[in-house]
Amino acid sequence: MSTFTNTAATTAAVTNRYVTTTNMKVGTYTLANTTPVWSGAGQVTVTHTTVVTTDTLGTIAVVGVDLSGQARSESITPLADSVATGTIPFRTITSITGVGWVIAGSNDTLVVGVAAGNIACGTAGQLQGVLVNNTVATAVTISDGSKTILVIPASQAAGSYFNLGGVDFYTNLKVATTSTNDITVIHTLSLPLIYATA
């Protein structure tokens, strides 16, 4: 069974999409937003900043819903003064909670955001086609977890259609573009986790 996903917004990373700069803590963080800017899913990022001495960072528990509508959770371990990226593509975030954090003299800070790339399908599947809805301003890259499948060059004409006839993709299907482009990918549905891992 096939569906389509339109991408007409920037797919650049937004480091503070879900939680804006705040002190680390044990407890639930206030969500600034619950979904990525784009219409698909995104992987969660946690950016840590040391204040004086690096704290015991613990983990960040993320709870939400994936593209198949299934409830999912993920534990992300922050990296000192760096960015840690989760692996689960979330469509909606319902809560983000700090666990096991211990202060080392002054509260370290964090932001929680979304990694670059609109994940149109969160499981393995097939890409059937790509429709270019406006003249491409900058190149569009369509990939899965391990390879580039198609690069649509800048200046590609509006109305162009790439009939791919069912190209297999693995892990997920990701569209990387800017807000000046409007691209629709036709693909198989994201499978519920029970089927995706069987």
Lookup: tokens for 53: 């001495």
**What pLDDT score was predicted for residue 197?**
42
Distance CA 18, CA 24 (A): 14
The separation between CA 63 and the C-alpha centre of its own chain, rounded to angstroms, equals 14
Neighbours of 12 (CB within 10 A): 16
Q: Which domains does the chain have, with CATH numbers?
A: 13-115 (2.60.120), 120-196 (no CATH)
Distance CA 68, CA 85 (A): 21
**What pLDDT score was predicted for residue 196?**
45
**What pLDDT score was predicted for residue 193?**
59
**What pLDDT score was predicted for residue 16?**
98
Q: What is the CA radius of gyration of the chain?
A: 18
Identify each DSSP E strand in 134-198 by its residue range: 140-143, 148-152, 161-169, 173-176, 183-188
Cα–Cα distances in angstroms (integers) from residue 194 to residues 16, 44, 197, in the given order: 31, 22, 6
Q: Which of 190, 194, 195 is nearest to 67 (CA)?
A: 190
Q: Are 190 and 67 in contact (CB under 8 A)?
A: yes
Taking only the tens of pLDDT, the chain with its 198 residues reads: 789 999 998 999 999 999 999 999 999 999 999 999 998 999 999 999 999 999 999 999 999 999 999 999 999 999 999 999 999 999 999 999 999 999 998 899 999 999 999 999 999 999 999 999 999 999 999 999 889 999 999 999 999 999 998 999 988 999 999 888 999 999 998 876 544 443
